A and B are shown apart, each in its own frame.
Chain A
Amino acid sequence: QKEVEQNSGPLSVPEGAIASLNCTYSDRVSQSFFWYRQYSGKSPELIMSIYSNGDKEDGRFTAQLNKASQYVSLLIRDSQPSDSATYLCAVISGNNRLAFGKGNQVVVIP
């Protein structure tokens, strides 16, 4: 099992809709979780971090963490064409390693 899994394929959402991305992780003692956004041909940039169970909101982005089920999700409300990018989930595992998932591509259709 990979440390961080993002399995869903490209996600197409109409402008104004909610985009929902999921990520699961294998190390039960992981404590720190991140979402990076990467535009095509560009470098990743951090958009959200979450450390406690529950929801964390920042503007149109909400990160959700459920440690018991070992998943973290990202919701993008009122999706805009500028949200079209690949979103990378990253986790600091119990052995103090930062592992990235392979990413999920989001396409917002005007």
Chain B
Amino acid sequence: NAGVTQTPKFQVLKTGQSMTLQCAQDMNHNSMYWYRQDPGMGLRLIYYSASEGTTDKGEVPNGYNVSRLNKREFSLRLESAAPSQTSVYFCASNHSPGITNEKLFFGSGTQLSVL
């Protein structure tokens, strides 16, 4: 049982380049999330999807787009990367649709550097 799988684990981009971070879960979860984690800032929600076919903005959505491709997959796209997007990105999921008391299952993270 793989849980939440993120790819890639590491990525270096030049300013202005685009890329997509992939996330897939095999737990039949309804809700999926993208967070970024910066030193001294904690985890901040970028976008989330409470169920297949829906997406909503989180705390810091600017510069990002998301796609809930199907129930398993939730991708995060940076159209024109900026140095301010240098961060560690975590995908997470849980079963119930929307924000609930259920624990979040996190992927292993993507370390992204934008030069």
Contacts and interface: CB of A to CB of B under 8 A. Distances in A.
Interface of A: 4, 6, 32, 34, 42-46, 49, 51, 88, 90, 92, 96-103
Nearest to A90: B43
A6 B42 CA distance: 10
Interface of B: 40-45, 59, 90, 98-99, 101, 103-104, 106-109
A45 B106 contact: yes
Contacts, number: 43
Closest 7 CB pairs of A and B: A43-B106, A46-B103, A102-B42, A100-B43, A100-B42, A96-B99, A32-B101
A103 B45 CA distance: 15
Contacts of A45: 106
Contacts of B103: 34, 46, 49
Contacts of A102: 40-42
A98 B109 contact: no
Contacts of A49: 101, 103
Given A102-B40, A102-B42, A43 B108 contact: yes
Nearest to B42: A102
B99 A97 contact: yes
